[in-house]
Amino acid sequence: MILEKDDKLILLTNDDGLYAAGLKTLLEVMEEFGKVVLISTVESMSGMSQALTVKTPIRVKLLEENDRHRIYACSGTPTDSVKLAINQLLERAPDWVASGINHGANASVSVLYSGTMAAAIEGCLYGINSVGFSLNNFSPAADFSICKKYIRIVMKKLASEPLPSGICLNVNIPSARKDEIKGIKICRQARGNWKEEFEKRKDPMGKTYYWLTGVFINHEPESTDTDEWALTNNFVSVVPVTVDMTAHSYIDKLRKSFKK
């Protein structure tokens, strides 16, 4: 892949692995916007959040190259992939970082655990316009083609109106037929939490192990301005995510408390 001066360069990754259907769909759309460098792990890295590989070497292998894209396999996490690509593999800083399309939504607090969104956030930390895409469907047979229209809309908007520094986008697409999706809704993150349950099991050797399960509890199901409400009502939710986790609304009160 030869990168010309006027070519847009897109860094693409995910947390479901190189052979995930969502990543394949995202690659197809991203090639409409520029030259693509795709880097991902062979195995799933779901739930890795912003994890870094610090105790073992990171291996990278070039798998495929043509005039539109290069594809690398990486042994590290989604965050590793973004860092490594920007620092070592790319000819220059990318114009965009795109992550996904994730199998399953990354709405509400799931953004904290998501490897898909971690990659977008990492791109944001480098000052690059970044976005994570997710489809609210965990099925291996999920139809990711319904996402294409909305990915194009978001990318065209980013091309004309770049994001402010320190902000990336979290885009979640409902699992619905094309004619059932009502459009795009700009939202805030819903307040909620995962109620974890650990199933106690025995392996074939009789040793105990635990398997994480759980359900998401939405604390404000009637609030119509949240990402969870949007997905439930067949809207594509777009949430601006900031890397600043400071609780600004509490700073003044905390200052006064410590002055006592």
Q: What is the chain's alpha carbon radius of gyration, rounded to the nearest angstrom?
A: 19
Segments in the chain forming alpha helices (H): 21-30, 78-84, 115-125, 148-160, 227-232, 248-259
Q: Is the peptide bond before 101 cis (omega within 30 degrees of 0)?
A: yes
Residue 139's pLDDT band (boundaries 50, 70, 90)? confident
How many domains does the chain divide into?
1
Q: Find the mean pLDDT for residues 232-256.
A: 95
Q: Please give the backbone phi and psi of residue 81, each rounded to the nearest 5 degrees, phi first.
A: -60, -45
Q: What pLDDT does residue 259 have?
A: 87
Q: How many CB atoms lie within 10 A of CB 234?
A: 17
Q: Find the mean pLDDT for residues 202-210.
A: 93
In a domain, 25, yes or no: yes
What are 99's strand-pairing partners?
13, 132
Q: What pLDDT does residue 175 have?
A: 93
Counting Cα atoms < 13 Å in the Cβ hemisphere of 130 gives 32
- pLDDT exceeds cutoff 90 at 97: yes
Instruction: For residue 108, give its domain range.
Output: 9-190+222-244
In a domain, 253, yes or no: no
In a domain, 56, yes or no: yes
Q: Please give the backbone phi and psi of residue 112, each rounded to the nearest 5 degrees, phi first.
A: -75, -25
Tokens standing for residue 57: 């070497």
- pLDDT exceeds cutoff 80 at 39: yes
CA distance linking residue 190 with residue 12, whole number of Å: 27
In a domain, 108, yes or no: yes
Whether 151 and 133 have beta carbons less than 8 Å apart is answered as: yes
In a domain, 20, yes or no: yes
In a domain, 138, yes or no: yes
Counting Cα atoms < 13 Å in the Cβ hemisphere of 185 gives 22
In a domain, 130, yes or no: yes
First-to-last C-alpha distance (Å) of the chain: 63
Q: What pLDDT does residue 31 have?
A: 97
Q: Find the mean pLDDT for residues 64-76.
A: 96
**Domain containing 67 — which CATH number?**
3.40.1210.10
pLDDT tens track for 53-68: 999 999 999 999 999 9
In a domain, 1, yes or no: no
- pLDDT exceeds cutoff 90 at 260: no
